[in-house]
Amino acid sequence: LHRPPIRSRETKLTSYPTMYKLAIAALLAGSAAAFAPAQVGQSSTALNAFEGELGVQPPLGFFDPLGLLEDADQERFDRLRYVEVKHGRICQLAFLGQIVTRNGIHLSGDIDFSGDSFDSYPNGIAAVLGPDAIPSAGLGQIVLFVGFLELFVMKDSANGAEPGDFPGDFRNGALDFGWDTFDEETKLSKRAIELNNGRAAMMGILGLMMHEQIEGNPVVGLFMEY
């Protein structure tokens, strides 16, 4: 496929309202439950039921600004926690991808049969949305691959395995990395660290995406120029 020449990095990116707003909404929804002060008027029953859950910690405590846990049961909480953990993991990878590619590190070789190399495409959201983005066939392959992982791999109980021990347990009877050798205190500590890192990454990648749309270059890109 023929691709027009890449525009200068100085050029501000055009807006892509629909998909971009959906991405932002997904990030915000994924981080909305279970980690800071509750809404005024929220039922004390919900507060008492979940204020001792993993991730409810200082300085914010219990946090449910959208009221997603109002009159919720444990199954509802576990579902929201599952979504939060998954979004956090995705955003950690996304943030790491921003840092790596903005530092000039890309896959070697060509991305298509036309001879376009991986590093010939822009970084960030411009790589998939915009005038210099990868071909639509490439974007379609990414969507299909992510859909396959979502439906058949990244699940608490995939491939006939028993359900996980906690929301977001994707070992599926295959991966372990010594998890079963840890005591309960260590397991809780590691899960809390992952949860907090995921929350930070959700806010971080959202900030990079917003800054890229406003200035045409994310904050991390500006830092690397100095």
| pLDDT tens per residue across span 122-144 | 888 888 888 899 988 889 999 99
pLDDT at 11: 41
Measured CA to CA in angstroms, residue 205 lies from 63, 131, 212, 219, 222 at distances of 21, 22, 10, 10, 15
Mean pLDDT to the nearest integer, 203-216:
82
What's this model's pTM, rounded to 2 decimal places? 0.71
Q: Is the dihedral of CA 20, 22, 27, 32 positive or negative?
A: positive
Lowest-pLDDT range of 29-33, 170-174, 186-190: 29-33
* Amino acid at residue number 103: N
Mean pLDDT (the chain, rounded): 76
Q: Do residues 124 and 224 make contact, with C-beta atoms less than 8 angstroms apart?
A: no
* 74/43 Cα distance (integer angstroms): 15
